[in-house]
Structure 1
Amino acid sequence: MGRQSYFKALIICLMALLGSSQAQLQLGFYAKSCPNAEKIIFNYVADHIPNAPSLAAALLRLHFHDCFVNGCDGSVLVNSTQNNQAEKDSIPNVTLRGFGFIDTIKSLIEAECPGVVSCADILALTARDSIQTIGGPYWNVPTGRRDGLISRAADPLVSLPAPFHNLTVQLTLFGNNGLDVNDLVVLAGAHTIGVAHCSTISTRLYNFTGKGDTDPSLDSEYATNLKTLKCKNINDVTTLVELDPGSHDTFDLDYYKQVVKRRGLFQSDAALLTSSTTRSIITTQLQSTEGFFAQFAKSMEKMGRIKVKVGTEGEIRKQCARVNS
């Protein structure tokens, strides 16, 4: 290689490195390209979530399921096609809600500035604004995410924490995404809002070890109430159960209080009591709502950066439910 060619190649490499270092998420990423984007999202959320507060939990869950599978790239929003079964049709995702809500916001943003704001950013901002609207914590959402081109139904099966996972599996899946034990316990606090289907706890209630028994880690009185009043048989797949009974629309500390009483709905909730480290973190969260909110905000911003696509990676989808053709 001649001297001129060598220096040309060196300059190209340096420019590539510089570009990659600059292509990061940042607050106000759309300040010039679509200055009203975040306001449009916030206004729509503020207008609609008070009339359907349960949707806040659904939108937060949608964001979580997106980020844990191939990063926060909006891939969970993509529809299946004749040639590909997408993430949203994977078993862990079939109860996800909020797709239409995101699609509507996307259409409003596209009318303002076509082809500029990613679906991944819209989802991240909508989740934050929805939680804030119901009185939950606010957290920074740096933007600049790009939308992914791949959405496969097989991926959530190996990437998403499940209601039946023990602590070791949960820590592994969180660790795979750069999140630690504190993030795990703090983000589990999101179970202070929302509901679950009886099918997610039927085995825990009716056939825990395959002998028609109930999980002994679940408070016996609570288990009896669930079987008597809610999930009346092992085949119930439609009835909904509050994750945080009596407080499922309020973002507060009651979830941790339930866990300490052995009334966490999922096995994954009960697993937080199996380690002195996680028990200690729960005790810390219970000290003050303000402290929990601050920790939750920190972990949410951290989660929102998981394997993001930036710069020239991926694309900016025209419609969130389909990749650009």
Structure 2
Amino acid sequence: MASYISYTCTVLTLLLIFCVQSEAKLSSKFYDSTCPNALTKIRTVIRTAISRDRRMAASLIRLHFHDCFVQGCDASILLNDSCTITSEKNAAPNMNSVRGYRVIDNAKSQVEKICPGAVSCADILAVAARDASVYVGGPSWTVKLGRRDSTTANLSLANTQLPGFGDSLDTLISLFSTKGLSARDMVALSGAHTIGQAQCFTFRTRIYSDASDINAGFATTRKRKCPAYAGNATLAPLDLVTPTSFDNNYFKNLIKKKGLLASDQVLFSGGCTDSIVDEYSKNRTKFESDFAAAMIKMGDISPLTGSKGQIRKLCYAVN
């Protein structure tokens, strides 16, 4: 009888441990004991990268965003093609567009030197996005940690669940809603386009459309470096006014019909998000507060925790 009770207690204990691991929650203090210097090490790498290439700030925020919208925030976007992996890097929204992979690889390498096998690539992505925002004058936020890395990628989902540069307002709202993000979250996160650049092919149709939703002078200016039939990869700043500083000029531009991408301008086009754009154009503090809150919320999309996934040794390959 005693041995039966002992066996039962052991089983219950193991089940309890399994449940705790499976239902583990993200925490800003996750690495306090296992790798207390991880965030400092990541911050140093991110600051160095952006100091060399100011555009990298926008790229790192976008990299985190594109990761979270496919399978959740699990670093699946970082995986290269292999015998078992079809990389998300090959998806239309990512190919020859998403950047920052090497920066994340470098951050991972530096963290591995001090804490081997402790810090996930998914968490490094989340921290890098926050540090990138801060470096260019944007808001900071407390990053919740404890994500683990996926052992799979999903090219199909990357092609269908990431927002496109020509999407309608209804489509965008629907895409964000499926991820648990509200229309306000969507507008706030779109405000990341206050920094960064876009390739000519993503806005050519808009600037040559002669539509009523684009400022004629703005269109003429953009045509100078984006010919009608050439220069697909030529870059233009998403915010022509302050392209390397995180502020609320993006929203001011939309009100003036100077949104570069069609998916930008639809946020202020007579629809349900007009009032949010107007609010953010007048109140930078409110925009930055909502952006930080939306980034935290986005970082909570379907993370792998506990015993799920793995801590990759290399961000671009499974162990």
How far is the alpha carbon of 1:105 from its aligned partner?
A: 0.8
Q: TM-score, normalised by structure 1?
A: 0.90
Task: For 2:243 and 2:282, locate their aligned partners in 1 and report how far apart those are by CA, in whole Å.
Answer: 20
Over aligned residues, Cα RMSD in angstroms?
2.1
Q: 2:105: which partner in 1?
A: 103
Contact 2:30 2:145 in 1 (8 A): yes
Aligned to 1:196, the other structure's residue is in SS state: strand
Amino acid aligned to 1:232: P
Task: For 2:21 and 2:312, locate their aligned partners in 1 and report how far apart those are by CA, in whole Å.
Answer: 22
How far is the alpha carbon of 1:52 from its aligned partner?
A: 1.8
Task: For 1:48 and 1:18, locate their aligned partners in 2 and report how far apart those are by CA, in whole Å.
Answer: 38
Match of 2:219 among 199, 223, 245: 223
Aligned to 2:198, the other structure's residue is in SS state: strand
Q: 1:176: which partner in 2?
A: 178
Match of 2:199 among 194, 197, 200: 197
Task: For 1:158 and 1:9, locate their aligned partners in 2 and report how far apart those are by CA, in whole Å.
Answer: 43
Amino acid aligned to 1:139: W
Unaligned runs of 5+ in 1: 207-212
Contact 2:49 2:56 in 1 (8 A): no
Match of 2:151 among 149, 152, 162: 149
Amino acid aligned to 1:198: C
Q: 1:251: which partner in 2?
A: 246
Contact 1:49 1:130 in 2 (8 A): yes
Task: For 1:127 and 1:291, locate their aligned partners in 2 and report how far apart those are by CA, in whole Å.
Answer: 19
Task: For 2:213 and 2:167, locate their aligned partners in 1 and report how far apart those are by CA, in whole Å.
Answer: 14
Match of 2:259 among 257, 264, 268: 264
How far is the alpha carbon of 1:202 from its aligned partner?
A: 2.1
Task: For 1:292 and 1:205, locate their aligned partners in 2 and report how far apart those are by CA, in whole Å.
Answer: 27
How far is the alpha carbon of 1:140 from its aligned partner?
A: 1.2
Contact 2:45 2:106 in 1 (8 A): no
Aligned to 1:241, the other structure's residue is in SS state: strand
Task: For 1:115 and 1:259, locate their aligned partners in 2 and report how far apart those are by CA, in whole Å.
Answer: 45
Contact 1:202 1:235 in 2 (8 A): no
Aligned to 1:201, the other structure's residue is in SS state: helix
Over 3 Å counting, the alpha-carbon distance change for 1:201 and 1:118 in structure 2 is same
1:11-90 alignment, distance < 5 Å: 16-21=18-23, 23-82=24-83, 84-90=85-91
How far is the alpha carbon of 1:276 from its aligned partner?
A: 4.5
Contact 2:85 2:152 in 1 (8 A): no
Q: TM-score, normalised by structure 2?
A: 0.92
Match of 1:288 among 278, 283, 287: 283
Amino acid aligned to 2:204: S
Task: For 1:32 and 1:63, locate their aligned partners in 2 and report how far apart those are by CA, in whole Å.
Answer: 25
Aligned to 2:272, the other structure's residue is in SS state: helix
Q: 1:209: which partner in 2?
A: none
Amino acid aligned to 2:46: V
Task: For 2:47 and 2:207, locate their aligned partners in 1 and report how far apart those are by CA, in whole Å.
Answer: 38
Task: For 1:108 and 1:270, locate their aligned partners in 2 and report how far apart those are by CA, in whole Å.
Answer: 40
How far is the alpha carbon of 1:30 from its aligned partner?
A: 0.6
Task: For 2:93 and 2:311, locate their aligned partners in 1 and report how far apart those are by CA, in whole Å.
Answer: 26
Contact 2:79 2:317 in 1 (8 A): yes
Task: For 2:83 and 2:201, locate their aligned partners in 1 and report how far apart those are by CA, in whole Å.
Answer: 29
Contact 1:202 1:234 in 2 (8 A): no
Q: 1:158: which partner in 2?
A: 160
Contact 1:191 1:255 in 2 (8 A): yes
Paired residue total: 314
How far is the alpha carbon of 1:196 from its aligned partner?
A: 0.4
Unaligned runs of 5+ in 2: none
